[in-house]
Structure 1
Amino acid sequence: MASEGVSRLLAEAGVDARRLRAALALLCDGEWWTLAALVRETATSRRAVEALLREAGPQRSGERFRLTGEQAQAYRALLDEGGEVPGSPADPVAHLLPRYGDVVRRMAELVAGGPRGRHVLDHVAATPETVVRRALLLGARFWLPGSRLLCVGDHDLTSLAVAMIHPGVQVTVVDVDDRILAYIGERAEALGLDVVTRWADLRLGLPPSARGQADLAITDPPYTPEGVGLFVARAVEGLRDPEQGRVLLAYGASERTPMLALKVQRSLYDLNLSFEAVYPDFNRYFGAEAIGSAADLYVLRPTSKTRPAVAARVEGYGTAIYTQGPQSVEARPSPAPSTAGARGVEEGEFDVLVGDWPKDVAPRTPRARLSTWLAKPYASSPARVAIALPPGLGAALPRLLLATRARHVRVLTEDAPHDLGALESLYAITAGGGVVEAARLPPPEGRDERLLRALLDAAHGRAANVWREGLIRAYGHLTKKQARAIVTEVAPWADEVTLLELPAHRLQALPGAVAASLRRAAETSEEAAPEAPYEPGPKVDRRATPRG
């Protein structure tokens, strides 16, 4: 006989009982199921499945559950009441998936080999089938040949799935996690996929090379109203024609928390986005059991009022956008440096204060936002700059130092300095006690070092252009076309990008690439060098020369 507790749970769930019925049907199939698998397969919250297991009383083996034959028979009778078998909503691309089994298997390998998720960035890995289905949906709904896709964050590796299935799409990935950018870059290069990577902390802005370029954008952001609003706003900024483009958004909430979903949807309405489609439970995850290991997929269409709304709101989202860690919404961290750290900053000691500082600290000193500092060179040439870097923004430290041309930089930060790579050629750096001191090194003497320094000194400029001009200065015989060809040969990733948006692994590779470009320039100069001109001997007066 079926448990009265199970019957009560189904009755209390009302029209939403389909989820629980689907979980109960799985338990009746005679197979062993883990709690995580039941949650993911049925898109039901962990709490709801735990309640079902408590009332159903299945057999248990370690972390696995199943119903006995007698229990299964009783619950099948309960499920058959009304003559309807629980099922899932129609999947728009389920009929396409079997043809792409090889891609699913390849994505499973790539996901398994990728960087581990960071909880402070709300990383939860989507299943390989999910990222392939995202790629298939893009192709089923939109005309993709010759189009551009922007992935706003890509811990799930959706970029690689899209590039494999739709090789005619140019894919750009922006992410704050340098590990992810390095992994995607390496795998894309090995597989011959058209994917480029750019570093960005979206709280500080979208990289210049990613602005106004894409036809479509896709994002799976932190599931807070602030996180969803910020990531979608940056996705809109990345669209070439916002009124023709689309933003695909993965977002999920527990069936128990409709008010949270409403807050998120309001953040989308505030951006004047229309909801063209919502595919329920389209995305499945390894984890996120509180929301049923599932998320809906929204297809958002910007309107004529979206771009003004984005411009008005994007700077107001703040730095607290995550659900966990020092930059979580609940933590509400103060962006200003600690009182102890700011106490040593006196009026007149620094020419500019960058970031959010207490109002009573050097009140007459000019100030600049972190986002402004990264976006464009400062109007004057300050000699001393102090930067306040909030907790959780440590990945921006190398880029903030690159963006600063002062002789001395002091950074107040609770994050330990990251590997600064090529910046060791630019600064002498000491760190301790929440303070990083960076003193600019004198101009170098060697040819390799001078070119590298020219690139580091012009971090806001397009790297390929600065590099090209440096090669021409070093080898005057080179034409602009030859110099640019050399840069493209040794560093194809430097095209149309500034140093500030390069992933860390590209910055670390910069000294070696500069040296390689100079060697290639020397070879090109030797090949192009003209032959030695003919030099005649002394002139002879033939008339004075005797014959015979």
Structure 2
Amino acid sequence: MDVRQLSEEVTAKTKVDTTVRDVEKVISGLASSSHFWEIVCTVQKPFSVVAEIIGALRERGLVSVDQDGAITLTRQGQEFLKDNSIAPRRDYTCPACEGRGIGLEKIKEWMQKFDELTVDRPKAIIDYDQGYITTASVMARVALMTERGDLEGKKLLVLGDDDLLSLAAGLTGMPKEIVVLEIDDRLVNYINEKASKLNVPVKAFKYDFRDKLPEQYVGYFDTFNTDPPETLEALEVCMTRGLSSLSGEGCAGYFGLTRTEASLKKWSQFQQMLLSKFKVAITDIIDNFNHYVNWDYLLGSIRDDYSFVQVKPKLNWYRSSMYRIETVSGFEKIENKPMPCELYVDEEALIYKPEKSR
């Protein structure tokens, strides 16, 4: 098999740059798992790229797919693995912290309180490309903010709050004030209702990222948190809103970025934007920090041309890396204006049909 030719075919079909090394990583993943969603999770390449590589490998006789969607290397595939010195993927993730570097045992009480508080949380819906992270993920993010000195006694802005991070932070009693700007009326009402019962300083308001930031919040906060859609336009909009809200140098922003919907090329473009346009330093990137709970509408909103894709996930496969950025000397006020753009769809998006969100 000509691996370079295969990678070029996948690039042409997906419009996402695909390398020989990407193909090798997928084959390595196939050597350790037969479940498509686990392979997507571990290979850390855009969803469409992984699907097309596996489809191309099947066409070439290197993998087979059974009636349940399980993917297996054929004898020819095993020989290719051996001939090209490709080893099965190995996993040395710490089971105690799930790779986050935050001891979950130390925040066990927070996690329990959060679960009890949010047992009746609104379900993720397709309308706003929603999906929320696990309890361990959201409370570990709160712990990370606390550890970095960005939460206790601070004013926190949460831009979009599927994860209910505002309530997670509020129940610790640490922040001075928390404001949520969220487009979904269900979440706005839910957060305000729970905050009132908890008697914590959390207020939620309806807001669309594309609208200018409310003037009273420009330069007001110490810290912001968001989990932006991953088109470059959406990333720019969300960073503009978050950074516009910060009061000056030494303030921090937290957000997640996947490899499932953002290639390393996009990561590079985004990081250049952060450093050159916004005058911040990237202080932390923690791989696979945020694990997402599987959302109900997944299989109905993605491509259905490969049987191995239309298989219910067996694990929390959708994950994002945790970014922390900090404003540095030279950080200036950013123009606060409407920014109309496409938030959800580009070549690397998980969604397959343009009329649907994710």
TM-score range, shorter chain: 0.5 to 0.7
| 1:39–1:133 Cα change, 3 Å | farther
Match of 1:87 in 2: 91
Q: How much does 1:279 deviate? A: 2.4
Is 1:297 matched with 2:305?
A: no
User: SS of the counterpart of 2:156?
Assistant: strand
- Conserved 8 A contact 1:236-1:307: no
- Conserved 8 A contact 1:60-1:66: no
Match of 1:318 in 2: 339
Match of 1:220 in 2: 227
Match of 2:254 in 1: 248
Instruction: Return the letter of the residue paired with 2:271.
Output: Q
Is 1:129 matched with 2:136?
A: yes
Instruction: Return the letter of the residue paired with 2:202.
Output: V
* C-alpha distance in structure 1 between counterparts of 2:196 and 2:133, whole Å: 22
* C-alpha distance in structure 2 between counterparts of 1:204 and 1:163, whole Å: 26
- Conserved 8 A contact 2:65-2:72: yes
* C-alpha distance in structure 1 between counterparts of 2:181 and 2:273, whole Å: 22
Match of 1:354 in 2: none
- Conserved 8 A contact 2:179-2:204: yes
Residues 350-382 of structure 1: CA distance to partner in whole angstroms, max 9, x if unpaired? xxxxxxxxxxxxxxxxxxxxxxxxxxxxxxxxx
Task: State how 1:12-411 maps to structure 2 within 5 Å.
Answer: 13-14=20-21, 17-18=24-25, 21-22=28-29, 24-27=31-34, 33=35, 35-40=36-41, 43-50=44-51, 51-52=53-54, 54=58, 55-57=62-64, 59-61=66-68, 65=70, 86-87=90-91, 93-101=100-108, 103-104=110-111, 110=118, 113-119=121-127, 121-142=128-149, 144-164=151-171, 166-169=172-175, 170-240=177-247, 242-254=248-260, 257-268=263-274, 269-285=276-292, 286=294, 293-308=318-333, 310-311=334-335, 314-315=336-337, 318-324=339-345
Instruction: Return the letter of the residue paired with 1:247.
Output: G
| 1:95–1:144 Cα change, 3 Å | closer
User: SS of the counterpart of 1:229?
Assistant: helix
| 1:198–1:255 Cα change, 3 Å | closer
Q: How much does 1:209 deviate? A: 4.5
| 1:25–1:153 Cα change, 3 Å | same
Q: How much does 1:212 deviate? A: 3.1
- Conserved 8 A contact 1:20-1:48: no
| 1:159–1:38 Cα change, 3 Å | farther
Q: How much does 1:217 deviate? A: 0.9
- Conserved 8 A contact 1:5-1:56: no
State the identity as a percent. 19
Q: How much does 1:245 deviate? A: 0.6
Instruction: Return the letter of the residue paired with 1:142.
Output: G
Structure of greater Rg: 1
Residues 252-299 of structure 1: CA distance to partner in whole angstroms, max 9, x if unpaired? 344884443344334323122222222233333336889x73333222
Instruction: Return the letter of the residue paired with 1:302.
Output: T
Gaps of 5+ in 2: 8-18, 304-316, 347-358
Q: How much does 1:94 deviate? A: 4.3
Match of 1:507 in 2: none
Give the TM-score normalised by the residue count of structure 2. Answer: 0.66
Q: How much does 1:22 deviate? A: 4.4
* C-alpha distance in structure 1 between counterparts of 2:28 and 2:109, whole Å: 33
User: SS of the counterpart of 1:25?
Assistant: coil
Match of 1:448 in 2: none
Q: How much does 1:218 deviate? A: 1.0
* C-alpha distance in structure 2 between counterparts of 1:95 and 1:86, whole Å: 22
* C-alpha distance in structure 1 between counterparts of 2:256 and 2:108, whole Å: 23
* C-alpha distance in structure 1 between counterparts of 2:165 and 2:44, whole Å: 21
Instruction: Return the letter of the residue paired with 1:175.
Output: E
User: SS of the counterpart of 2:332?
Assistant: helix
Report the aligned-residue RMSD: 4.3
- Conserved 8 A contact 1:125-1:155: yes
* C-alpha distance in structure 1 between counterparts of 2:249 and 2:204, whole Å: 25
- Conserved 8 A contact 1:131-1:161: yes
Gaps of 5+ in 1: 28-32, 326-548
* C-alpha distance in structure 2 between counterparts of 1:105 and 1:26, whole Å: 32
- Most deviating of 244-253 and 263-272: 263-272
* C-alpha distance in structure 1 between counterparts of 2:106 and 2:265, whole Å: 39
- Conserved 8 A contact 2:22-2:45: no
- Conserved 8 A contact 2:102-2:140: no
- The structure in which a higher percent of residues are helix is 1
* C-alpha distance in structure 1 between counterparts of 2:281 and 2:31, whole Å: 37
Give the TM-score normalised by the residue count of structure 1. Answer: 0.46
* C-alpha distance in structure 1 between counterparts of 2:160 and 2:341, whole Å: 17
- Conserved 8 A contact 2:231-2:345: no
| 1:18–1:95 Cα change, 3 Å | farther
Q: How much does 1:300 deviate? A: 1.5
* C-alpha distance in structure 2 between counterparts of 1:184 and 1:88, whole Å: 38
